[in-house]
């Protein structure tokens, strides 16, 4: 099949592209500014265009059976009013323009649109599944609006799957890319109290979940893409410490995180215990459900 992808040159997109192509699919990645350093493998092509604005790139969308919408500015920043605007527009506009680009009759199209477990807002020990309601904070509201924009593709007959990601763990980037150097310099440890839940997913399981969902046309709507075994932040730090053979007891005070990161600091100091109920019920098998096993497959001590 032919796959059209936004955000395909990023941390998740690069890995997912390889997986799709390994399965015999052809992938077209929409990119704003090619650098010449992009992945180059048979079956992969690039189209120059800005998904934030309407343009000629939209004509190409109609020729693809699978749309994968990964685009969006990184949330790992201080959330000023201007940054919130960027976070919102990079998600809402891109999704809106992709939906507009679909054929009027798109019943053969599978439309994947990314969201996040932040949709559920902040919680204590309650287990959250796809049927749990949205939260009331900024990130939850952004996720809910982002999902609503993607679900408009149903009006054209497309099958829409909303993939709510946990924190993605993989090599060469992502959250671990920021955390590992701290542990290597003996500065790693829990954030705040360390009791907040951390919902995560190994990159291989994320990609395998996408392929699984392609093969299960009965599944649509929201799907939690995260490990069935979320951990507390303190457990995550301890596991990283064991894998790297470094101490993991040096806490980062909550007030300092909030001072440095403002509102975004709350995302790190609070969390949610999310369960991938729909994947489990459909028979998906995780290769890395347990945190230390996942970390040992990723981290080189």
Domain containing 88 equals 2-168+200-226
Global pTM value: 0.93
The torsion angles phi and psi of 232, rounded to 5 degrees, stand at -75, 155
Asked, for residue 88, whether it belongs to a domain, the answer is yes
Asked, for residue 6, whether it belongs to a domain, the answer is yes
Asked, for residue 241, whether it belongs to a domain, the answer is no
Q: Is 44 helix (H, G, I), strand (E, B) or coil?
A: strand
Asked, for residue 269, whether it belongs to a domain, the answer is no
Q: Count up the domains in the chain and report the number.
A: 1
Q: What pLDDT is recorded for position 57?
A: 97
Q: Which of 36-50, 83-97, 108-122, 154-168 has the lowest mean pLDDT?
A: 36-50
Query: Which residue, 277, 294, 163, 289, is CA-closest to 230?
Result: 289
Residues 109-122 pLDDT 10s: 999 999 999 999 99
Asked, for residue 283, whether it belongs to a domain, the answer is no
Report percent pLDDT > 90 for the chain. Answer: 72
Asked, for residue 240, whether it belongs to a domain, the answer is no
User: What average pLDDT does range 233-245 have in this prediction?
Assistant: 89
CATH code, 9: 3.40.50.720
Asked, for residue 277, whether it belongs to a domain, the answer is no
Across 124-278, the runs of DSSP E, i.e. the strands, are 127-128, 159-165, 167-169, 197-198, 200-202, 221-225, 231-232, 273-274
Asked, for residue 274, whether it belongs to a domain, the answer is no
Confidence of residue 38 (pLDDT cuts 50, 70, 90): confident
Considering the chain, what is the average pLDDT of its residues?
A: 91
């Amino acid at each position: 099949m032919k796959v059209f992808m936004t955000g395909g040159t990023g941390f998740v997109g690069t890995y997912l592209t390889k997986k799709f192509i390994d399965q015999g699919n052809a992938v077209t990645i929409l990119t704003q500014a090619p650098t010449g350093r992009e992945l180059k493998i048979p079956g992969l092509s690039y189209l120059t265009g800005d998904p934030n604005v309407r343009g000629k790139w939209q004509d190409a969308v109609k020729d693809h059976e699978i749309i994968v919408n990964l685009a969006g500015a990184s949330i790992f920043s201080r959330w000023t009013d201007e940054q919130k605007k960027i976070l919102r527009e990079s998600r809402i506009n891109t999704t809106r323009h992709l939906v507009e680009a679909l054929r009027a009759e798109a019943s053969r199209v599978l439309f994947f649109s990314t969201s996040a477990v932040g949709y559920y807002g902040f919680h204590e020990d309650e287990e959250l599944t796809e049927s749990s309601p949205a939260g009331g904070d900024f990130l939850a509201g952004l996720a809910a609006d982002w999902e609503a924009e993607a679900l408009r593709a149903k009006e054209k007959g497309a099958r829409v799957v909303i993939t709510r990601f946990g924190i993605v763990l993989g090599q060469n980037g992502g959250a671990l890319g920021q955390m590992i150097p701290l542990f290597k310099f003996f500065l790693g440890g829990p954030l705040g109290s360390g009791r907040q839940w951390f919902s995560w997913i190994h990159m291989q399981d994320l990609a395998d979940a996408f392929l699984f969902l392609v093969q299960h046309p009965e599944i649509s709507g929201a799907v939690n893409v995260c490990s069935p075994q979320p951990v507390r932040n303190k457990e995550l730090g301890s596991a990283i410490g064991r894998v790297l053979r470094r101490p993991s007891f040096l806490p980062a005070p909550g007030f300092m995180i909030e001072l440095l990161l403002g509102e975004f600091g709350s995302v790190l100091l609070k969390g949610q215990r999310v369960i991938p109920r729909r994947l489990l019920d459909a028979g998906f098998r995780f290769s890395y459900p347990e945190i230390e096993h996942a970390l040992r497959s990723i981290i080189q001590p």
